[in-house]
């Protein structure tokens, strides 16, 4: 992997990650951008104890590309995008309209490929490995910023999830605190350690799931299952079998095997809602859009976790992949019970979801 950092016209950082060491990335951003002024403030809810990022941004003269020009495609001729070069493998840059900035963290955009019409599932194993290496490098770099406590790499895919740019991309949020979900997990881990005389809860959950009926996919170094109490209609948790707190600690064997495992999971997700015998191999174009999904990397916070009795080494790096689609044409909305009370109602039994995700395995 070759890494080339540069700056955009408004001072934001952009980094090229290339497969070939011979890649030269010296194109200059020629857009008339003025420096961004970002304001983001973290407010803590006194009753719930969680935090809300209030982002209000004041812009100078903003460069508006025509709506039909994708800002994540490479720049070509006079068609200038966020990426100055005329090609790229993987590129990461600071979000122009970040939810977190300055003292309250940082937001970045990760472009997985320069191919506008591809999706992550279309990447080659070599390309997927490059994305993994970019996520890992960003986690290392962002953890060095004084304001950053936890790094979250994720992908939202599909218009149903509110994605407005079709170009395959993900985001990275670097938070100035341990996020509520991570803190909840760490509290459970600390309590279990205490009660069990030292057992790690993540290890116990993984062992139990691997012995059960909700396994979706298992390889030498990775395991994927639908959790016992899945919140979403189709939800898969992917763990490296050797527990590590974050991407930085993932060993070479697991890194090498990751692309084939993850690409297979994403391809199965795309087939969940295909009707029996109506696979893409038959030649018919599915009338429905590809499965919308959220893919979320859970990593340990850096330094002190902020949760008594839980060290960062107790945490288990894993990826949670889920869709909000329940069945063809129907979405799971976060309605009264979920939004009002944090109580999820899931209409798809986790055992049935796991069965379906095994049925649609690549042959
Ligand atoms: Zn594009």
pLDDT at residue 67, rounded to an integer: 62
pLDDT at residue 184, rounded to an integer: 96
169 is catalytic: yes
pLDDT at residue 344, rounded to an integer: 92
pLDDT at residue 285, rounded to an integer: 44
pLDDT at residue 122, rounded to an integer: 97
Which pLDDT tens digit goes with each residue over 122-170?
Answer: 999 999 999 999 999 999 999 999 999 999 999 999 888 878 788 999 9
d(CA 63, CA 111): 20
List of residues 6+ apart from 249 with CB closer than 8 A: 317
- Whether the per-residue pLDDT at 349 is higher than 90: the answer is yes
Which pLDDT tens digit goes with each residue over 231-274?
Answer: 999 999 999 999 999 999 999 999 999 999 999 999 999 999 98
User: pLDDT above 90 covers what percent of the chain?
Assistant: 76
Cβ(95)–Cβ(107) below 8 Å: yes
Give me ligand 1 centre to Cα 229, in Å. 37
Which pLDDT tens digit goes with each residue over 288-312?
Answer: 788 999 999 999 999 999 999 999 9
- Whether the per-residue pLDDT at 346 is higher than 80: the answer is yes
Give me ligand 1 centre to Cα 157, in Å. 14
- Whether the per-residue pLDDT at 318 is higher than 90: the answer is yes
What average pLDDT does the structure give for the chain?
91
User: Partners of 74 in the beta sheet?
Assistant: 83
Across the range 272-283, mean pLDDT stands at: 60
d(CA 126, CA 77): 29
Across the range 96-125, mean pLDDT stands at: 93
pLDDT at residue 62, rounded to an integer: 52
- Whether the per-residue pLDDT at 278 is higher than 60: the answer is no
Give me ligand 1 centre to Cα 246, in Å. 30
pLDDT at residue 160, rounded to an integer: 81
Higher-pLDDT residue of 108, 158: 108
pLDDT at residue 281, rounded to an integer: 45
pLDDT at residue 282, rounded to an integer: 43
pLDDT at residue 253, rounded to an integer: 98
How many CA atoms within 13 Å lie on the side-chain side of 234? Answer: 29
Tokens of 74: 């490479």
Catalytic residue among 169, 192, 221, 318: 169
Across the range 105-123, mean pLDDT stands at: 96
pLDDT at residue 58, rounded to an integer: 52
User: What residues are neighbours of ligand 1 (ion), with CB under 5 Å?
Assistant: 70, 72-73, 116, 167
Give me ligand 1 centre to Cα 168, in Å. 8
pLDDT band at 284 (very low <50, low <70, confident <90, very high): very low
Give me ligand 1 centre to Cα 43, in Å. 35
Which pLDDT tens digit goes with each residue over 42-75?
Answer: 999 999 989 998 887 655 445 566 667 899 999 9
Give me ligand 1 centre to Cα 256, in Å. 28
pLDDT at residue 313, rounded to an integer: 97
Which residue, among 151, 2, 15, 173, has the nearest Cα to 82 in the 3D structure? 15
d(CA 19, CA 145): 27
Which pLDDT tens digit goes with each residue over 164-189?
Answer: 788 999 999 999 999 999 999 999 99
- Whether the per-residue pLDDT at 355 is higher than 70: the answer is yes
């Amino acid at each position: 992997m070759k890494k080339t950092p540069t700056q955009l016209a408004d001072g934001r950082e952009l980094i090229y990650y290339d497969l070939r060491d011979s890649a030269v990335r010296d194109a200059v951003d020629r857009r008339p951008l003025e420096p961004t002024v970002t304001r983001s403030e973290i407010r803590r809810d006194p009753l719930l104890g969680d935090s809300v990022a209030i982002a209000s941004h004041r812009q100078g003269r903003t460069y508006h590309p025509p709506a039909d020009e994708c800002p994540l495609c490479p720049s070509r001729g006079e068609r200038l995008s966020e990426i100055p070069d005329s090609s790229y493998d993987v590129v990461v840059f600071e979000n122009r309209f970040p939810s977190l900035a300055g003292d309250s963290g940082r937001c970045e955009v990760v472009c997985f490929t320069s191919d506008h019409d591809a999706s992550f599932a279309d990447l080659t194993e070599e390309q997927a490995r490059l994305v993994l290496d970019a996520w890992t490098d960003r986690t290392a770099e962002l953890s060095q910023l004084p304001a950053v406590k936890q790094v979250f790499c994720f992908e939202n895919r599909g218009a149903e999830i509110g994605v407005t740019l079709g170009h395959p991309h993900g985001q990275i949020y670097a938070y100035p605190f341990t996020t509520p979900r991570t803190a909840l997990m760490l509290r459970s881990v600390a309590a279990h350690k205490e009660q069990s005389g030292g057992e790690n809860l993540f290890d116990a959950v993984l062992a139990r799931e691997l012995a059960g009926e909700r396994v979706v996919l298992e390889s030498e170094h990775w395991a994927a299952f639908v959790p016992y109490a899945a919140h979403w209609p189709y939800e898969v948790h992917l763990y490296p079998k050797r527990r590590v707190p974050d991407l930085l600690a993932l060993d070479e064997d697991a890194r090498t095997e990751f692309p084939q495992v993850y690409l297979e999971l994403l391809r199965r997700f795309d087939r969940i809602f295909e009707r029996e015998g109506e696979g893409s191999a038959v030649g018919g174009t599915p009338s429905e859009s590809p499965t919308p999904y959220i893919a979320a990397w859970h990593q340990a916070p850096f330094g002190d976790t902020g949760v008594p009795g839980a060290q960062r080494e107790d945490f288990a790096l894993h990826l949670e992949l889920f869709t909000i689609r329940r069945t063809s044409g129907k979405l799971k909305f976060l309605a009264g019970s979920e939004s009002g009370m944090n109580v999820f109602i899931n209409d798809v039994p986790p055992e049935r979801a796991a069965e379906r995700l095994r049925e649609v395995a690549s042959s």
